[in-house]
Amino acid sequence: MDFERLCKDVMNVDSKIRFSMIVIDGKQKYGGYRFDTVGILDSDELERSIWYAYERMVGRRAHEFKLGKTRYAFTEYANVKRVTFPLDQKTLLLVSMELDAAHDSIIRDILKLIATS
């Protein structure tokens, strides 16, 4: 899978997407913020947030044998929405979007991108 291409394609899904990044083993490896977006978290906070998202996804795997494979996890904060998509055992796609983003259709479109990547 071409992770750089996937991040760019995700950013093109909707202008309300703030960032798209690939996380491998809990660390950001590809992608980043939209050119005109100012991050809410400083770099240390973002690094910790990425790690916690990774750890939560690892924890979800413990129940997948009964619940089925995780397709995505969605969180709406007071200032942004964030979606975590597991790509494989060690790799996640993290996507942040504005509060007024149409997250249902954005998630649907991103799942299609993942399926065809």
pLDDT in tens, the chain (117 residues): 899 999 999 999 999 999 999 999 999 999 999 988 989 999 999 999 999 999 999 999 889 999 999 999 999 999 999 999 999 989 999 999 999 999 999 999 999 999 998
Architecture of domain 3-116: 2-Layer Sandwich (3.30)
CA distance 1 to 87: 10
Residue 90 pLDDT: 93
* Contact present, 82 and 65 (Cβ < 8 Å): no
The pTM of the full predicted model, rounded to 2 decimals, is 0.93
Q: What is the pLDDT of residue 69?
A: 94
The H-or-E segment that residue 58 falls in is helix 43-60
